[in-house]
Amino acid sequence: MELVKKPFARKNAGKEPQAEKTSLVDADYGRKKLFKRGVNLMADEKLEEAATVFEQALRIDPDSVETLMKLGYARFHLEDHGAALRIYDRIFEIDVTNPEAWNLKGLVHYEQKNYAKALDAVEKAIESDPTYGMAWYNKACFLSLLNQVPEALDALKRSIEIDVKNARKSIRDKDFVNVKIEEGFKRIQEVVVLESVRQGYHTIGAIVWTTFLDKVDVDVGLLKLMEKGLIVKNEKRDGLSKVPVYDLASNVAEKIGREKKGVFGITRKKMPKPVRNLKEMIQAIQTAREAIEEKDVEKSMEIFEEFIDTTRSGQHMIDSFFDEHREIRLWKIRLKDRGQDYLIDNHDKMLVLFENIEAAITKKLRSEIA
């Protein structure tokens, strides 16, 4: 089961805005100040105090979805499930298509062991955002718990298509006890083994260690992958004996790329250039979203340059996301002039733009690898 992260690390907010100046030009200044205090309290895991501060912020702006989300998050981790559900329902009165709120509501029902209601909520999250990998994973969990095995496998496969890390996560997830004997889940185990080999783990012991699979399951997975021509088996000498080692078949390595580990365990990626460029863009988008969430002006300006500079990802942005490229250029200029106030005011807009770019790139990336 993919639960939300525990209260997050303290945000690096940069310079503290001046109250005298900001409060005159920003009617929402008081709410933002309380919101920031609540976030810092959550970082210190003072959830009850954080909830009180968020409630104070909502007296200033009762319709702030951003504040309601954090209050619901705090109530959820305080196991005040009734209050959390009421908060998410309040969000839906403002924005009925909010996928994160629907997913979180599903998790509340999951904690209450009301899996049918949890499934209904998470399906609404997917309707709002079909590329929401966490929601697909949670849907698979709820379906498994309801013993809808084929549907659970389909949802799990979809979550893995969006984020391959979900394959490894599912191996130890007790919510999938109903589906682990199915042939379809065995194929997911094959995906986990294949990904481990691609990352540079070539012996059975290393694969067992990195995947959490039993040795028997690794053996079966490797055998199936060799039968399909995806993995090749060789041997290397270890003293007087020979140890079997496994690697990607050459045609597979060219298609999906290979990761090799250096002497100090640092990964060096080798993959087709178009795929590599798209993956680098997705990593940059994730960094940009983190910087925006942290209200970090310097970090945001620095990562925005990745999407502006034509010697980096800028040319791809101009070719495929011209309007977005222009918008990011403008944001960088405004951030330089106005700093954190501008970042706070445009926080949601920025996140939506990068989420849309990421969804488009993810779709293209899947077609490049297919």
pLDDT for position 253: 60
Percent of the chain with pLDDT over 90: 34
Print burial letters for 351-366: b (CB count within 10 Å at least 16), e (below 16): eebbbebbeebbeebe
What pLDDT does 7 receive? 41
CB 157 within 8 A of CB 137: no
> What percent of the chain clears pLDDT 70, i.e. is strictly above it?
84
Q: Of the candidates 64, 96, 89, 62, which has an alpha carbon nearest to the alpha carbon of residue 75?
A: 89
Q: What residues have CB less than 8 Å from 201, skipping those under 6 apart?
A: 207, 209, 210
Residue 119 confidence (pLDDT) above 90: yes
Total Cβ atoms within 10 A of residue 268: 10
Q: Give 320's pLDDT tier (boundaries 50, 70, 90).
A: confident
Indicate the pLDDT class of residue 276, thresholds 50, 70 and 90.
low
**How many other CB atoms are found less than 10 A from the CB of residue 257?**
17
**DSSP letter assigned to residue 12:** -
| CA dist., res. 236 & res. 346, Å (int) | 57
Q: Is the pLDDT reported for residue 265 higher than 50?
A: no
Whole-angstrom Cα distance, residue 109 to residue 95? 20
pTM: 0.58
Q: 195-251: per-residue pLDDT in tens?
A: 888 878 888 888 888 777 888 888 888 998 898 888 898 888 767 778 888 988 887
| Tokens, residue 25 | 């030009």
Residue with token string 């709410």: 31
Q: Are strands 258-261 and 241-248 parallel, antiparallel or unpaired?
A: unpaired
Beta bridge partners of 246: 233
CA angle 148, 82, 8 (to 5 degrees): 85
Q: Give the pLDDT band of residue 18 (cuts 50, 70, 90).
A: very low
pLDDT at 275: 61
Residues 174-189, mean pLDDT to the nearest whole number: 84
Residues 6+ apart with CB under 8 A from 325: 307, 308, 314, 317, 318
Those residues with Cβ within 8 angstroms of residue 202's Cβ, 6 or more apart along the chain or in another chain: 245, 246, 247
Q: How far is CA 328 from the centre of its chain?
A: 22
